[in-house]
Amino acid sequence: MPAGRIRGWARAVRAGGRSLERAFVTETGPTFGQWRTRSRTHAAARLLRAGASVVSVTQRVGYEDPSSFARAFRDFYDMSPTEYVAPDRRT
């Protein structure tokens, strides 16, 4: 997660950025960045299974370009978005 965003949220709740980061990990387990990536890749998987294109999914889940989305997807699912929706994978 961009450091500026968490600092903005911390100011909004009158807390320090590091305190907010630690509280998030304490309450949820993963860091906010890890949680955000999981959330985005799960949403992407649902959209891909529903037939959306990689380009449209890239934009809908907030990545700037398909290659960065594909890299994050592969890191999480250990396969590319295209491999994920391949016909032999859906049986």
Q: What is the pLDDT of residue 1?
A: 46
pLDDT for 91 beyond 80: no
Distances (CA, A) of 86 to 24, 39, 49, 51: 36, 22, 10, 11
Read off the pLDDT of residues 42-86 as tens digits, 9 standing for 90 and up: 999 999 999 999 999 999 999 999 999 999 999 999 999 999 988
Q: What is the pLDDT of residue 17?
A: 85
Taking phi over 0 as left and psi of -120 to 50 as alpha, with beta for the rest, 15 belongs to: beta
User: Which candidate, 11, 82, 72, 9, places its Cα nearest to that of 41?
Assistant: 72
Read off the pLDDT of residues 6-21 as tens digits, 9 standing for 90 and up: 788 888 989 888 888 8
